[in-house]
Amino acid sequence: MISLTEKIKQKAFEIGFHKIGIAPADSLTHEREHLEQWLNSNLHAEMKWMEREPEKRTNPKLLFPEAKTVIAVALNYYTPHNHESDQNKGKVSRYAWGDDYHDVMQEKLRELLNWIKAEIPDAEGKICCDIQPIMDKAWAVRAGLGWIGKHSNLITKDYGSWVFLGEILLNLELKYDNFIESDHCGNCTACLDACPTNAIIEPYLVDSKRCLSYATIELRAPKLPDEIVNDLDSWLYGCDVCQDVCPWNRFQKETEEQRFEPRENNISPDLHKILSLSHDEYIEKFRGSAMKRTKLSGLQRNAKALLEKNLEKNENDAFEK
């Protein structure tokens, strides 16, 4: 007779998740120490929300007191498209090409939780997907989905690092996966070598202040720092360099989730059109998109920086000729 645990896993795959693992809802003691060291070193820059309630981030029972189990899932989002090489266009990180992953992931998690509740009337749970204060990558490791690469992203053997992560905290005890994936980065330093701003200051340690993704998405300053602008390399929103060069991403597979297919002009948006957007046009264009995270002011700040840098480069090239 098939167990509830196996039924849950089968249902997760039916819903469209690509990996699933199950772990006991224990505190993440080692992970909390690492988080606090990172915070104390001010490597989170201006992301002050990271400082709030670190104990809640590492103890699922503070999020959901009845939690006995963490169901961790991964959703492949890779689509095989490329950025355009055009000075007047900016590059967008692959994760933001299609619909907002929060919406897609939460819908699937809710469907899975509702199915569990229908199977077991006493079942209760809480879904988590990035928004909640929970360490998604740490739980993915605990559940055997993959390992943390030197660029600090989760890497899976099956899909590389192009995966979104989510969890269900459940009040039921299930059969736990007693498997932890080994670190398969070995001596590779591709991500460290390729990072345009040397944001990966040592293996497994990222300085947010140097990171293009942080600067173009999270930083709320009216102007990007010069050291960031000098190495933007056309990145308008986010940066995929460390993932693009990762050897494990040769195992990338095209996702079946159509909502992750790029929206129109969302891979390489025209920078002049970004600058000309009104607030209402911005709301309409990026409704249901992860790109709303940076707000119109941040997106236009980034576009302006890219155009000014391109103009400066063109003038220098002309002078040298």
pLDDT tens for 64-82 read 999 999 999 999 999 999 9
Using alpha carbons, list the distances in angstroms from residue 263 to 16, 107, 145, 274. Answer: 21, 20, 29, 15
The 10s digit of each residue's pLDDT in 193-235 is 999 999 999 999 999 999 999 999 999 999 999 999 999 999 9
- Report, as residue numbers or ranges, the catalytic residues: 130
Surface-to-core class of residue 182, CB atoms within 10 Å of its CB (0-12 exposed, 13-18 middle, 19+ buried): exposed
Using alpha carbons, list the distances in angstroms from residue 81 to 59, 86, 286, 307. Answer: 39, 15, 20, 24
pTM, to two decimals: 0.95
Q: What is the pLDDT of residue 314?
A: 73
The 10s digit of each residue's pLDDT in 270-292 is 999 999 999 999 999 999 999 99
Structure tokens at 286: 């990026």
Q: What is the pLDDT of residue 253?
A: 97
Average pLDDT over residues 156-166: 98
Total domains, the chain: 1
**Bridge partners of 21?**
72
Is the Cβ–Cβ distance between 60 and 134 less than 8 Å? yes
- Expressed as residue numbers, the domain containing 123 is 1-321
State the pLDDT confidence band at 315, using cuts at 50, 70 and 90: low
Which of 73, 57, 48, 58 is closest to 28 using CA atoms?
Answer: 58
The 10s digit of each residue's pLDDT in 75-113 is 999 999 999 999 999 999 999 999 999 999 999 999 999
Is the Cβ–Cβ distance between 217 and 238 less than 8 Å? yes
Q: What is the pLDDT of residue 275?
A: 98
Is the Cβ–Cβ distance between 227 and 197 less than 8 Å? yes
Q: Alpha-carbon distance 152 to 201, whole Å?
A: 11
**Bridge partners of 163?**
76
Mean pLDDT taken over the chain: 95
**Bridge partners of 74?**
19, 165
User: What does DSSP say about strands 235-237 and 91-92: parallel, antiparallel, or unpaired?
Assistant: parallel
Q: What is the pLDDT of residue 311?
A: 86
CB atoms within 10 A of CB 97: 19
Surface-to-core class of residue 90, CB atoms within 10 Å of its CB (0-12 exposed, 13-18 middle, 19+ buried): buried
Q: What is the pLDDT of residue 145?
A: 98
